Chain A
């Protein structure tokens, strides 16, 4: 992007002054290289979000922002119901409550090589991944509603998880306000056999090693030491969330119009929070959040089973589970006044700083773990929420590396087989049903995750705690 289009506030803050129908400015957090490489569409989409009714303070984009649909991926926006604020199905996206969980294993990197190949094979067999894979769980109508209301708590009650996990999951494992009756039969049908499945695209289960520690004090509280082995899972609410997103997007295009809301892009489809459609979406979307929390809890349980076979004394403890496609009601201080806002994060991670009341006792003194998935070759990061993120972007940070190349371009540039072979030489085992899928997700198709997290840190959104390097990657 042409940097002259922005007001540069500081090294990592780029403001788009309101023009046209924009009600507030748009602010992108990134360093100069990232902003130059960013798609012009991010500028356009961040500005478009700023036109929506009831938007508070600014429309934000994180350092990993890229061209989305309606909202940019990496977009954050908060709306006030008392100022005709909206809830947007487009602002949450299709993969409702897509997120990352990281589990500590107590193992060291040196424990892995003797079993690395068979551990990778066992995880690939146990974790249903990709199109055509089916889970071993089938839900009837009663179980479906119980899952949609109960989230990870439901999974734990059913024996697919551990009670101690719950305090380490956002919303303590269960999103309040879920209304399964607002979830369509088609959405439920799509999910009936998809619990405990990983999905495809950029979703993964990785076994990772701690490569670097940046903040020893916080790392110790998080339970991370150099050369530790962790397991990270990236996935969401599967077919149920996709179907809810699809249905409400269509309904909200009409609802916006009948509420007199001019949409500059149909993908911004939204409805007033205080409207029948808006409330119905919130009930269904919260049910989808529970679906994602339950799904990741079940996948974590499967990972535990596999690890217990290879390492009988191994105890997988959940570090944290956090979503990056959501709309949440949160209290934020705006211009000195505490306000209850509907914060949309689309490809952005909630990043509560130290002292936040929702964090469990052990984490509260330091802040929330912010889990950043990188590409399979370059690794991932664990950050910690900063107090400054509250005023910067409603306590939000980046969510991943962000794509630099389209799938189309990636496919032209790389062969999946060669990517797998090259990574194997570096000690990283990739398991995927599709070599084409691997090529589309090639490490080079992503931005430099190191630059993204460095910019997030410099901008005061979240601080680096540890870098993780991949050892095994199961991709859908």
Chain B
């Protein structure tokens, strides 16, 4: 499922230069009958988490979201996969209570703890035309893993 992949590091390639693995950050959506799956890729688990958060924002809107205000969050879970679900649910919570969308994420993972800064702006219904509201991240198709070539991926289905 590569259709929706967005690679911010990919130059509008005139020549074919294979980028090093460490720069292959990106995200994609994958299908689920009623809902939608989000998957982030990155050189580290934290980078994959950041990219998956971009995929979460793209569930709501394809419009530009401006990084105007910062929100600090933290969460904790017994393993990396449960931490990933907690991370997405933390963002969903902040989106709901602050009525915001987020465009940029900086994640630090230390053992079972995650600390992050989210940058975003208030929802503008006319400009963002939000398609749907994430209710919660699920354990369905949940997988956080480092692939053979060293790239991390983090994925799960989000209930919308």
Instruction: Find the B residue at minimum CB distance from A39.
Output: B33
B64 within 8 A of A: no
**How far is B78's CA from A265's CA once the two chains are assembled, in angstroms?**
17
- Asked if A146 lies at the interface with its beta carbon under 8 angstroms from chain B, I say no
Contacting pair B89 A267 (CB below 8 A): no
Interchain CB contact under 8 A, A267 and B138: yes
- Can you report 25 residue pairs joining A to B where beta carbons are below 8 Å apart? A67-B32, A69-B138, A69-B159, A73-B34, A94-B135, A130-B125, A131-B60, A131-B95, A131-B123, A131-B130, A132-B124, A132-B125, A201-B132, A242-B135, A242-B136, A243-B136, A246-B137, A253-B139, A267-B140, A403-B33, A407-B36, A407-B132, A408-B3, A408-B29, A436-B129
User: A444 at the A/B interface (Cβ < 8 Å)?
Assistant: no
A409 touching B31, Cβ below 8 Å? yes
Check A225 for interface membership: any CB of B closer than 8 A. no
Residues of B within 8 A of A39 (CB): 33
Interface, chain A (partner B; CB < 8 A): 39, 41, 66-70, 73, 93-95, 130-134, 186, 189-190, 192, 199-201, 239, 242-243, 245-246, 249-250, 253-254, 265-267, 269, 403, 406-409, 412, 433-437, 440, 476
In the complex, chain B residues whose CB is within 8 Å of the CB of A130: 125, 130, 132-133
Q: What sequence of 0s and 1s flags, for each residue 118-157 of chain B, a beta carbon within 8 Å of any chain A beta carbon?
A: 0000011100111111011111101000000000000001
Instruction: Report chain A residues within 8 Å CB of B23.
Output: none
**A238 CB, min distance to chain B CBs, angstroms:** 9
Q: B89 — which chain A residues lie within 8 A by C-beta?
A: 246
Q: Contact string, B3-29, partner A, CB cutoff 8 A, digits 1/0?
A: 110000000000000000000000001
Q: Are B129 and A69 in contact (CB under 8 A)?
A: no
Q: Which of B84-142 contact A (CB under 8 A)?
A: 85-86, 89, 92-93, 95-97, 99, 123-125, 128-133, 135-140, 142
Nearest A-chain residue to B130, judged by Cβ: A131
Asked whether B132 lies within 8 Å of A94 as measured between CB atoms, the reply is no
Contact A94 B159, beta carbon cutoff 8 Å:
yes
Distance in Å: Cβ of A70 to nearest Cβ of chain B: 7
Docked CA distance A199–B60 (Å)? 13
Across the interface, B131 reaches (CB within 8 A) one of A66, A199, A246, A434, namely A434
Distance in Å: Cβ of A130 to nearest Cβ of chain B: 6
Max chain B CB contacts within 10 Å: which of A67, A73, A435?
A67
B97 touches A190 (CB 8 A): yes
By beta carbon, the residue of chain B nearest A407 is B36
The docked-state distance in angstroms from the alpha carbon of A267 to that of B32 is 15
Which positions in B face A, CB cutoff 8 Å? 3-4, 29-36, 60, 62, 77-78, 82, 85-86, 89, 92-93, 95-97, 99, 123-125, 128-133, 135-140, 142, 157, 159-160
Q: What 9 pairs between A and B have smallest CB-CB spacing?
A: A132-B123, A131-B130, A406-B31, A69-B140, A67-B33, A266-B139, A437-B131, A436-B131, A408-B31
Instruction: Point out the residues of chain B lying under 8 angstroms from A269, CB to CB.
Output: 139
Interface centre among A93, A132, A201, A254 (most CB of B within 10 A): A132
Nearest residue (CB) in B for A72 is B33
Report B147 CB to chain A, min CB distance, Å.
Answer: 22
Cβ A132 vs Cβ B138 within 8 A: no
Which residue in A68, A69, A190 is a CB contact (below 8 Å) of B93? Answer: A190
- B159's nearest neighbour on chain A, judged by CB, is A94
Considering only CB atoms, which chain B residue lies closest to A41 in the complex?
Answer: B33
A117 to chain B, nearest CB (A): 20
Contact of B133 among A189, A200, A267 (CB under 8 A): A200
Residue contact A200 to B130, C-beta cutoff 8 Å: yes
The answer on a CB contact under 8 Å between A406 and B36 is yes
- Among residues of B, the one whose C-beta sits closest to the C-beta of A412 is B3
Checking B77, B124, B136 against A246 with a beta-carbon cut-off of 8 angstroms, the contacting residue is B136
Give min CB distance, B157 to chain A, whole Å. 6
Question: Given A201-B132, A437-B132, list of 19 further CB < 8 A pairs?
Answer: A67-B33, A73-B33, A93-B159, A94-B136, A95-B135, A95-B159, A134-B99, A199-B133, A200-B132, A242-B96, A242-B135, A242-B136, A243-B136, A245-B136, A250-B85, A266-B139, A434-B130, A436-B62, A437-B130
Cβ–Cβ contact B31 & A68, under 8 A: no
Q: Which residues of A contact B95 (CB under 8 A)?
A: 131
A66-B34, A265-B139, A403-B34 known; A250-B130 Cβ under 8 A: no
**Chain B hits for A93, CB < 8 A:** 159
Partner of B139 from A69, A95, A242 at Cβ < 8 Å: A69
Q: How far is the CA of A199 from the CA of B96 in the complex (A)?
A: 11
Give A199's nearest chain B residue, CB to CB: B133
CA distance A269 to B35 in the complex (A): 19
User: CB < 8 Å: which of B32, B96, B132, B137 contacts A440?
Assistant: B132
Residues of chain B within 8 A (CB-CB) of A253 are: 82, 139
Kindly list chain A residues whose C-beta atoms are within 8 Å of the C-beta of B142. Answer: 266
B128 to chain A, nearest CB (A): 7
Measured CB to CB, the closest approach of chain A to B7, in angstroms, equals 19
Look across to chain A and name the residue whose beta carbon is closest to the beta carbon of B157: A69
A131 in contact with B132 (CB, 8 Å): yes
Shortest distance from the beta carbon of A358 to any chain B beta carbon, whole Å: 29
Q: Given the complex, which residues of B lie within 8 Å of A267, measured CB to CB?
A: 138-140
Shortest C-beta distance, B48 to chain A (Å), equals: 20
Chain A CB within 10 A, most for which of B35, B92, B125, B160? B35
Tell me which residues across on chain B come within 8 A of A190, comparing CB atoms: 93, 96-97
Give the complex CA separation of A267 and B140 in angstroms.
Answer: 7
Complexed CA–CA distance, A246 and B135 (Å): 9
Instruction: Report how far A186 CA is from B93 CA in the complex, Å.
Output: 8
A434 to B126, CA, bound (A): 9
Measured between alpha carbons, how far is A192 from B159 in the docked complex, in Å? Answer: 21
- Establish whether residues B97 and A68, one from each chain, have CB atoms under 8 Å apart when the complex forms: no
Chain A residues near B78 (CB-CB < 8 A):
254
CB distance from A252 to the nearest CB of B (A): 11
Query: Given A130-B125, A131-B123, A265-B139, are A250 and B133 also a contact pair (CB < 8 Å)?
Result: no
